[in-house]
Structures are given as structure tokens and as C-alpha cells.
Amino acid sequence: MVDAARQPLVDVRAFTEVEKVEGFVGNFKVTLREKAKYVIADRCNGCGACTLACPVEVPNYFEMNLAPRKAAYVPMSQSVPLIYSIDMENCIHCYKCVDACGALEAIDFSQEDKLVEEDIGAIVVATGFGHFDPSVMDEYGYSRYPNVITAMEMERLNNSAGPTAGDLIRPSDHKSPKTLAFINCVGSRDKRYNPSCSNFCCMYSIKNAVLLKQMHPDVDITIYYIDIRTPSKGYEEFYDRAREMGIHFSQGRPSLITEDPETHNLVVHAEDVGLGLVTEKEYDMVMLNQAAIPQPDQNHMSSVLNVAQSPGGWFMEYHPKLRPMDSPTDGIFFAGACQGPKDIPSSVAQGSAAAARASRILHSEEWEIEPTVAVVWPDRCSAETKGRACGLCVKACPYGAVKIEGDKAAEIITAKCHGCGGCVAECPEDAITQLHYTDAQILAQMRALLADKPEEKILAFRCHWCSYGGADLAGTSHFDYTANERGMKVMCSARMDSDFIYEAFRLGAGGVLYSGCHPQDCHYITGQLVGAKRASRLKKIFNRMDMTEGRFRIEWISAAEGDKYARVLNEMQDVLDNIPPEELHEEIERLKPEMSKRLKKFPGVPGVEEAMVYSDKLVKAIASQLEVK
């Protein structure tokens, strides 16, 4: 941080929050809230005289509340920049800090928060992770038993710059403990709280144990664990080193901690998996190695930055393997544990990668984006035809790429559009199209695929990122599935227009599969949710039409679920096989007028009429070829 602060091209804005982010890749407008420190930065020399004079003491968050700090303070002695702040919530306005500051006159109680707008080319998010609060786990007694502490509290107690100057003592009586228990996976790998592993906690626990053993060789340390996970270079060797130092490892998650009210010693109740016995062992102190969780303001930052979150609350990357440091929003990158728990080497590697990715933007005069962007036909927008824009396209876009000003027609900000197609399918006036996935192009494909014996065909709509990959995997893995499947690719399930489904059934399709990503896997933030809501509406409509159950099916299939894709198609084929041909034909003919009724606007979409004429010729050509055969 010191090197960063000295670099003339790096501007460190401490005590500052990101209030708003607008714009697009290479042209972000970021609004920052510079919080009032009540100290003039240019005058403060970091001498600390104000802290010495201040009579107010409050718990110090940096020291995990194990020691106090003053109302005039810096978070830690190595703070960058080393500029003091006044905690106005706890300040008693005695003005002793003003007197202590003397001729510098750096204290200014009239300061207020400032909003500053900056033009930014790229954004790297490195907000880190938070800590699980173990007090919600009554069985471990944290916050009830003084000698049950967290890993971060242990870290501060064992640190030479910590509140005890590195002297490990028990909070209850300030005596040095002789026996210690470390409990791993507190709040992680636990379906009550966080089902996932925190990635680095095994190594963190071993590191703390090794450091303590080096400083206090006589201390007896036992680490309770579910599994020891040491997957990286040198980690297994470090684990072996800990065992050679005499650190004990006991496999089994403790079920309960009880306290002796007189000595405040703690009894850990656990099952030793290796021995096959239930054990009760007494310790002077217990350290809880708690789970890594997303920061408390992660949801707020997700909204401000307009980036997606995975089911666990972490920021979601563009692609977990190919672009793990990119967000779905161009120009925004992730570094470190904000995207998921990771250790220091992984965080450093991702930080370097994110910096490299961001530099590509900063060194480019122009930036290429995907060509599958949306385009508005202004004359068809309800703002022109009805005098008022409906705004459904704005609600459908997860990137804020659709803009409506007053009574004007909707407008697409091309640089912000990611090409999910959600706005195209949601528009009730068919006033928006998507380049390379126009209604006319998709219609022409549908009519060609259903040209011959459509009642035998299953038309499968697949999203580019997931179910299309699942179909590809089903093929390359040689899974057996019906030969009557006919697949069509769109960028996202949000692009699967209701009109496409109606048209497929009007053309006589035996079945239609509406498939896409799982909600947590969607590459377009809320695209899957938009598509799922539309699919659910269609399902209810077809049920009211008395369509045979199973002819229209909704499935969310990942790129790794080739087996599921094959199974779903085979199940749909079984549905068609169980309907007598004459009954299926009668149902198709009965529903055609209903489908046509719902397609009144479809022929008027630009390009659709020409596509229908062309596809009719194509269908006749296919039919004539089949007759020749």
C-alpha cells in the first residue's frame, strides 16, 4: 500500500464509498462519497497528538474489539494514508484534540461528506469477504463463554502489534493457556448456514497453530476437523510439518462445548472418527475457525455495479473457467475473495489478471463488443403508436442498456447491450429486434425444421451458454436420445419469444422444449428469471387449452448435464409415443386456431413476411426432394 500511495498515477481514496456507477465499458461515470474525516488531510502529519489528548475510548474494530481506540484515531498504525479521523458518533466535543493539534490546525469540525464524480475506464472490484458470526451457534457458546474466541481474535492476540503485544492470554483471567482446541468449519460445510467450503480455512488453522507452537512450544494444540484440505503446492508438506511439531488432529465436528463455571475451562464434546469413540476433552481455550462469507454490503454493491451474484451471495464471474476474473458487465473485473473464498496466492494471481484485463481497455481507443445487440424500430414503439412508452423493455434489461426519455421511443445504448434478447421478446409491440437472431431468421429456421412430418418432431429451444452446451455434450458423449429432436439456438432463454412457441405448435410440432441455464448460472444476470416467468405463463395458457401434459416442457440444463438433456428428450418422446397418432393430429388441428389468434402481430414484424415467403419455397423444395426419394 505504501508503494501504491507513492506511485504518482495511483490515487488512494481512503474513507470513500462508491455511491453510483453509470455508463459503460471505457466510459463509466462513478459517483464517490468522500466521507468527512473532520481532519484536513493536507495539514495532518500523522503525529497522533490528537489521539493522546482524546479522553474517549471505544471498542477497536481492527483489534476485534479486544482493545479500545480513541475517538480521534487511525484504524491501525500502518494505515495508508496515515491521516487521522474524528469519530463524531462518539466524540464529546471537548476540543482537546484541537488544542493538541496546535499550529497545524488540522482539525475541522465543519467538514461534510462530499460527492465527487469521476470518469473511469475500467473497474476492479476487490471488496474481500466477511466473517461468519459464530454466536448464532448456541452449541459452541461464543459470546457466552469468555474463553471461546474466533480465529481473527486469536490472530490479534498472537500478533506482536496486537492488544497484548503477542502475549497469548485467556480473556477470562489473563492467564496463559496450556491447552488449546481449534475447531474448523464453524458455519461452513453446514447446511444450516453455509453449505460450501471456505477454501483456505484448513491452512489458516494450521498456520495459526504452527505460529503458536513456535512461540509457545509447551502449549498442547488439537485441531478438530471434518476433512483436512491442502490442495495447493507445498500445502501438504506444511500439514506434515504441523504434525511433526506435535500438533494433534482429531477428525470429527464437535457437537457441544460446555464450561466449568469455576475455572472457565472448556470441555469439547466430539466424535473421534479415527477411534470410533465419543470424546470429552478439557481445554483452557477454544478457537472457532469461522466460515468466509460475502461482505454485509455485497447485495448493495451488486446493485450499484450492476453485476450478478451466485446463490451463495458472491459476485458471479462471466465464465468460471475461461473468464473467472471478468464480470458479466464489460469493463468490470473481480480480484480476490469478493468472487468466492480463495487464499492469498489465488487472490494475488486473480488481482494481476484483473489488472491486465483492465489495462487492455485503458490502452484501447475502441472496444469490440458482441454483435448480437438489440435494435429498436422507433415507429413501432408504443411511444409513437400510443403516445406513451410501456417501459417493459427497460424492466427486462439487466444492464440498463434501454433508455426512455419522456415520450420518445425506447433507445438501446449499444455499448451496454450484452445481447441476451430479453427486451426483444418482452416487447408487446414487436418494436425491438436482435441482430443475428431476428424474428425472421428464427422463423425461417423453425419452418425448415418442421417442414416434414412436424407432428413427429420435438423442437428444442436452447440457450447459447448452457442447454446448447448440454446438447453438444450429449452428442459428443454418445448418449442415446430420440432422433426426432430438432434444436435451435438463441443467446438466452429470455430471447425465447412466446410467438416462437405459438408458431411452433401452429406449424404442427409434436413437442416443444423450452430450455436454458439454471438461475445461478445465467450469464445475463436476470435473463433466466425473465425467461422462466414467460415460460411459466405459457405453461398455464397451454393447460387451459387442454394440451396434453408433456408436449410443452420447461427444463433448466447446464452445459455439463448432457445426460439430463438426453433424458428429457427421451421422456418427451415417450409422451408422443403414448398418444395415438389420430388423437395427436386432432389435438394439433384443434389448437391451431388458438395459436393463430395469438400470432396476429407476428406477420407484421419487419422481415417476417419475407421470411415466410422464402421458407414456403424452401419447404416445397424439401417436399419435392422427399418425393423424388
Kindly report, residue by residue over 195-247, the tens digit of the pLDDT: 999 999 999 999 999 999 999 999 999 999 999 999 899 999 999 999 999 99
Prediction pTM value? 0.84
pLDDT 10s digits, 366-405 = 888 889 999 999 999 999 888 888 999 999 998 889 999 9
| Cα distance between residue 569 and residue 475, in whole Å | 13
pLDDT 10s digits, 474-488 = 999 999 999 999 999
Phi, psi of 395 (to 5 degrees): -65, -35
Query: How many Cβ atoms sit within 10 Å of the Cβ of residue 180?
Result: 24
DSSP 224-290: EES-----STTHHHHHHHHHHTT-EEEES---EEEE-TTT--EEEEEEETTTTEEEEEEESEEEEEE
| Cα distance between residue 428 and residue 392, in whole Å | 8
Phi, psi of 603 (to 5 degrees): -65, -20
Grid coordinates in use for 255? Answer: 457437537
130-293 in CATH: which number?
3.50.50.60
Query: Mean pLDDT over all residues of the chain?
Result: 94
- Segment-wise mean pLDDT, segments of 10 residues, the chain, 629 residues: 87 94 94 96 95 96 93 92 95 96 96 96 96 96 96 92 91 95 97 94 96 94 96 94 97 96 96 93 97 95 90 88 89 96 95 96 90 94 89 92 92 93 94 95 92 95 96 96 96 96 96 94 88 97 96 96 97 97 96 92 83 79 72
Contact between 573 and 484 (Cβ < 8 Å): yes
Q: 374, 569, 614: which is closest to 479 by C-alpha? A: 569
Helix (H) or strand (E) holding 553: strand 552-556
User: Which one-letter DSSP state was computed for residue 555?
Assistant: E
Residues making up the chain, counted from first to last: 629
Q: What is the pLDDT, as a whole number, of residue 578?
A: 97
Contact between 108 and 88 (Cβ < 8 Å): no
| Cα distance between residue 169 and residue 157, in whole Å | 8
b/e sequence 399-410, b meaning 16+ C-beta within 10 Å: bbbbebeeeebb
Q: What residues contact residue 483 under an 8 Å CB cut-off, 6+ apart? A: none
Q: What is the pLDDT, as a whole number, of residue 462?
A: 97
Contact between 320 and 339 (Cβ < 8 Å): no
Domain positions in the chain: 130-293, 370-434, 437-628
Q: What is the pLDDT, as a whole number, of residue 368?
A: 87
370-434 in CATH: which number?
3.30.70.20
